[in-house]
Amino acid sequence: MSLVVHHLENSRSQRILWLLEELRLDYRVKRYERDSGTMLAPPELRRVHPLGKAPLLEDDGTVIAETGAIVEYLVEKADGKLGPPPHRRSMLQYRHFLHYAEGSLMPPLFTKLVLSRVPLLGKTAQKRFQPMIDVHLDYVEAELSDRPWFAGDRFTAADVMMSFPLEAARARAGLNESRPATLRWLDTIHQRPGYQAALAKGGPYAYA
């Protein structure tokens, strides 16, 4: 049985399709569209997992949730391909950014998205919140000014994890030409054949 990715449009789950292409693992996509009014995931996802969130990965009857956990599962399934580099410094960078993407960078970005949908006071709150995001964007810019990839000299799954929050930041949270190293990194990943193949399989994606 092939791997099945439960993929929600314009979401974190695009990263899993990309990783699968880079790992050259066989999979199929079950795509879901957001509710046009609420922009939330449809209730059908709850039939796969109680939380009803994407991505979800099915592998021979086992359902794995949470993007980071799925990434680690797939790297292991591919015998360590795109996993932590052998050198200690790069290994620590790999582990840090694998978890930093969702643990530290995404929460303020998601908060800003929520505030953007709050009438009246939402715009004021967004302006006060932006400096918190800028701290993260400056940190990422400094890291990518020092090396081409998040875990050192080669592309790894940590780069896959970092893609969605930085794509979202470019779309709605102030990531622009003032941070050239980060934009250069985004342009580089978007040109990868695996990334392009994942777009073709996943359908329209607002952040590419």
- Per residue in 47-59, pLDDT (tens digit) is 999 999 999 999 9
Q: Do residues 97 and 151 lie in contact, with contact meaning Cβ atoms separated by under 8 Å? A: yes
Q: What is the pLDDT of residue 123?
A: 73
pLDDT digits (tens, 9 = 90+) for 151-165: 999 999 999 999 999
Instruction: Spell out the domains of the chain, with CATH numbers in brackets.
Output: 3-81+194-202 (3.40.30.10), 88-192 (1.20.1050.10)
Q: Give which of 191, 186, 90 is closest to 141, Cα–Cα.
A: 186
Q: Which residues 6+ apart lie within 8 Å of 187 measured at CB?
A: none
pLDDT tens per residue across span 118-134 = 676 667 777 788 899 99
Whether the pLDDT of residue 44 is over 90: the answer is: yes
pLDDT of amino acid 139: 98
Locate 58 and state its tokens.
Answer: 């099915």
pLDDT tens for residues 166-206? 999 999 999 999 999 999 999 999 999 999 999 999 999 99
| Dihedral (Cα; 19, 21, 23, 24), 10-degree rounding | 160
Structure confidence at residue 120 (pLDDT): 66
User: Which candidate, 45, 59, 139, places its Cα nearest to that of 100?
Assistant: 139
Is the pLDDT assigned to residue 12 strictly greater than 90? Answer: yes
d(CA 87, CA 2): 33
The pLDDT value recorded for residue 126 is 73
pLDDT of residue 37: 83
For residue 128, give both structure tokens.
Answer: 């006060």
pLDDT of residue 1: 53
Averaged pLDDT score across all residues of the chain:
94
